[in-house]
Amino acid sequence: MRPRHLSIITACLIWFISPSTELLAELKLPSFFSNQMVLQRDKPVSIWGWADANTQVDVAFNGNTVSTKSNDDGSWRLALPAMKANGQGMNMVIENGKDRVEIKNILIGEVWFASGQSNMAFKLQASLDAKTDLPKSKNPAIRFFLATNTPAAQPQTDIAGTWNLSSPETSGKFSAVAYYFAKQIQQETGIPVGIIQSCWGGKRSECYTSREAMLSNSHGKKMIAELDRAAKAFDSVAAKKKHDAAMANWEKRTARVRAQNKNKAASERARLPRRPLPVKPTYENERNPTVLYNGMIHPFVGYTMRGAIWYQGEANAKAGLAEIYQEMFTLMIQDWRQRWGDEFPFYFVQLANFKPVTTDPGQQSDWATVQDQQRKTLELAGTGMATINDVGDARDIHPKNKKTVGLRLARWALSNDYQKPVTVSGPLYKSSRVKAGKMIIEFAHTGNGLKTGDGKPLQRFEVTGDNQTWHWADAKISNNTIIVSCKEVPNPKAVRYAWAANPEGANLVNSENLPASIFSTKNN
């Protein structure tokens, strides 16, 4: 078949299946409005989809029937009234005269949106406690919608994925962090919990932010300008030629390795070379700003939920990005809230300790900078942060202890959203003052008092007198504050704590043994 004919056929097929065309006669909803879904309790619930243009659509659920009329393009949206939690599976019927859709086994409970990069995507089956917890994971009151990785050049209205009931057969593929978060919420409240999991490893926060939001920010404008320049310069013919050459080389290398492995025992065989991936057009490359917002966030905009949880930052821990992470991360959170029209709670995970241990003061670290920028993001109302600088792995950017992470995230929700009497966090820097050549530090979230987690003297406090040269400092707990001093610095200007990618020995905790976050009083 000639290429021109193939293009015409493809175009016709796209036109035929598009939900915005008048050829669409069937009643259709996004994939996440489907069997086994969880709807948010105590809030009006948005439901939407497509049908014939200008026809009546009726939605019946839980004793309520709500009607609306589809628009000229066939799209429609309505809201069911707020409903109480219900753990008994119910059915929803959507009709528009000639067509009928029935969605089965729906629960009403708490819905949380889980996103970020690889540590949020990290599967339960690979986590530290999988052997113990996975066989016991059967719980139909915990459900996950697993969204398919979907880069997109333009905002999408749907995304592939399915709802899954938690069980030993299914939950291994769930985000481990989100699973432990959901399990704790469900146990403490007795209410069904639904998690919408939409995350992709190795991606910057800017990938999850809309083009409009990026253009409202000076740094974002520069990133979008670079994106547009790259898109304009993209040569699909050259990209294909480059990929073809890479494939040819890969095939030769693979054949050579296979031949070498032929007579070797399995344990002695070399790994096959990784197959090269095609070069994607700029606006469809998942590593670029806005692309994952378009494909993996925008389809869900409006889905009624309690809030969001997030684990990301590793991809931003590099020069030029680390220093502006608070600004860009805050931009993303505000973008989502504006899109949803809801100032929903947003709880996130601070980066874990990682990389070789440092032993000298005054270290510069993009990783530590991102951690502190994450702490500063708490200035935005309705946010919370799980500090995990005690459960990382120096050699693995994907630490396997995900239970601790999920449970620490859950503390914020249990306290703020479910009124449970729990301490939400380890000590967070609050204020400082200088007195008699010493720096006195005050903290929030001290519980019943500050202490060291290992019973040893406080470590990893640094002090500077000129804002340039840092010295290890003596630090002592006094009346729920920390008093920091140093013989070499008689006139302290700033103090910082745990300022390293892997601050081994950092041991300040509160009465709940929750670790203190990294902080610096300089420019705070």
pLDDT at res. 467: 79
Q: Identify whether 181 is part of a domain.
A: yes
Q: Identify whether 384 is part of a domain.
A: yes
Same domain, yes or no, for 386 and 462? no
Please identify which residue in the block is written with the tokens 């608070």. Answer: 326
Element (H, E) at 285: none
CATH code for position 96: 3.40.50.1110
Q: Identify whether 389 is part of a domain.
A: yes
Distance CA 399, CA 352 (A): 8
Q: Identify whether 68 is part of a domain.
A: yes
Q: Identify whether 9 is part of a domain.
A: no
Same domain, yes or no, for 439 and 411? no
* Sequential pLDDT tens for the chain (524 residues): 444 343 433 444 433 334 433 344 489 999 999 999 999 999 999 999 999 999 999 999 999 999 999 999 999 999 999 999 999 999 999 999 889 999 999 999 999 999 999 999 999 999 999 999 999 999 999 999 999 999 999 999 999 999 999 999 999 999 999 999 999 999 999 999 999 999 999 999 999 999 999 999 999 999 999 999 999 999 999 999 999 999 999 999 999 999 999 999 999 999 999 999 999 999 999 999 999 999 999 999 999 999 999 999 999 999 999 999 999 999 999 999 999 999 999 999 999 999 999 999 999 999 999 999 999 999 999 999 999 999 999 999 999 999 999 999 999 999 999 999 999 999 999 999 999 999 999 999 999 999 999 999 999 999 999 878 999 999 999 999 999 999 999 999 999 999 999 999 999 999 999 999 999 998 88
Q: Identify whether 100 is part of a domain.
A: yes
pLDDT at res. 523: 80
- Among the candidates 375, 406, 425, a domain finishes at 425
pLDDT at res. 26: 87
DSSP per-residue letters across 102-154: EEEEEEEEEEEEEEESHHHH-BGGGSTTHHHHGGG--EEEEEEEEEPP---SS
Same domain, yes or no, for 310 and 399? yes
Which range of residues forms the domain containing residue 374?
Answer: 17-211+295-425
Same domain, yes or no, for 447 and 405? no
Q: Does residue 159 sit in helix, strand or coil?
A: coil
Asked whether 116 and 108 are in contact (CB, 8 A), the reply is: no
Distance CA 210, CA 501 (A): 30
Distance CA 438, CA 473 (A): 10
Q: Identify whether 335 is part of a domain.
A: yes
Nearest alpha carbon to residue 406 among 86, 244, 187: 187
pLDDT at res. 193: 98
Element (H, E) at 501: none
Same domain, yes or no, for 193 and 316? yes
pLDDT at res. 521: 95
Residues 6+ apart with CB under 8 A from 330: 377, 380
Residues 6+ apart with CB under 8 A from 86: 41, 62, 107, 108, 109, 192
The crossing angle, in degrees rounded to 10, of helices 366-376 and 325-340 is 40
Same domain, yes or no, for 160 and 302? yes
DSSP per-residue letters across 379-410: GSTTEEEE--TTS-BTTBSS-S--HHHHHHHH
Same domain, yes or no, for 432 and 322? no
Q: Does residue 174 sit in helix, strand or coil?
A: coil
| Residue 141: HSE in the Cβ half-sphere, 13 Å Cα cutoff | 17
DSSP, res 47:
E
- Among the candidates 387, 407, 425, a domain finishes at 425
Same domain, yes or no, for 413 and 446? no
Q: Token pair of 341, please? A: 């029209």
Same domain, yes or no, for 96 and 191? yes
pLDDT at res. 233: 97
Q: Identify whether 285 is part of a domain.
A: no
Q: How far, in Å, are 8, 9, 91, 234 from residue 3 at the CA level?
A: 9, 10, 47, 21
Tell me how far the alpha carbon of residue 426 is from its chain's centroid: 21
- Among the candidates 425, 451, 485, a domain finishes at 425
Same domain, yes or no, for 80 and 181? yes
Same domain, yes or no, for 379 and 476? no
pLDDT at res. 188: 98
Asked whether 68 and 327 are in contact (CB, 8 A), the reply is: no
DSSP, res 296:
I
User: How many structural domains comprise the chain?
Assistant: 2
Nearest alpha carbon to residue 484 among 326, 397, 401, 361: 361
Distance CA 268, CA 270 (A): 7
Q: Does residue 22 sit in helix, strand or coil?
A: coil
- E-strand ranges in 152-271 read 161-166, 193-197
pLDDT at res. 21: 35
Strand order across the beta sheet in which 470-472 lies: 470-472, 461-464, 494-497, 519-520
Same domain, yes or no, for 42 and 137? yes
Asked whether 471 and 488 are in contact (CB, 8 A), the reply is: yes
Please identify which residue in the block is written with the tokens 């995350």. Answer: 199
Distance CA 450, CA 509 (A): 6
